[in-house]
């Protein structure tokens, strides 16, 4: 049985709404940037906004995979995390 099947419907709805809301915050922040601006590092950190968007997308995808498939989704996870 998957995690989705055992999750309270209200809890699932709340989780998806929270992800949707925060995804929109991030998209609004970077919407007007060019690719060059999104790749620019404005501090000594290696972090750039484009990298942050990529990281969030990968992490969200992996968490949703975990929600749907449980611990089975974590098999081989370290290899996926470096993508």
Tell me the pLDDT tens digit for each residue of 9-51.
888 889 889 889 999 999 999 999 999 999 999 888 888 999 9
Q: Collect all residues with Cβ–Cβ distance below 8 Å to 31 and sequence separation of at least 6.
A: none
**Angle, to 10 degrees, between the axis of helix 9-30 and the axis of helix 49-69?**
170
pLDDT of residue 75: 79
pLDDT of residue 3: 53
pTM above 0.85, yes or no: no
In this predicted structure, the answer to whether residue 4 has a pLDDT above a threshold of 60 is no
pLDDT of residue 79: 55
Whole-number Å distance between alpha carbons of 78 and 37: 30
């Amino acid at each position: 049985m998957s995690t989705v099947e055992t999750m309270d419907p209200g809890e699932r709805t709340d989780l998806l709404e929270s992800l949707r809301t925060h995804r929109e915050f991030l998209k609004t922040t970077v919407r007007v940037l060019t690719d060059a601006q999104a790749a620019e590092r404005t501090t000594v950190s290696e972090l750039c906004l484009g990298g942050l968007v990529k990281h969030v997308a990968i992490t969200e995808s992996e968490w949703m995979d975990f929600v749907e498939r449980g611990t089975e989704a974590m098999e081989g996870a370290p290899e996926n995390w470096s993508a």
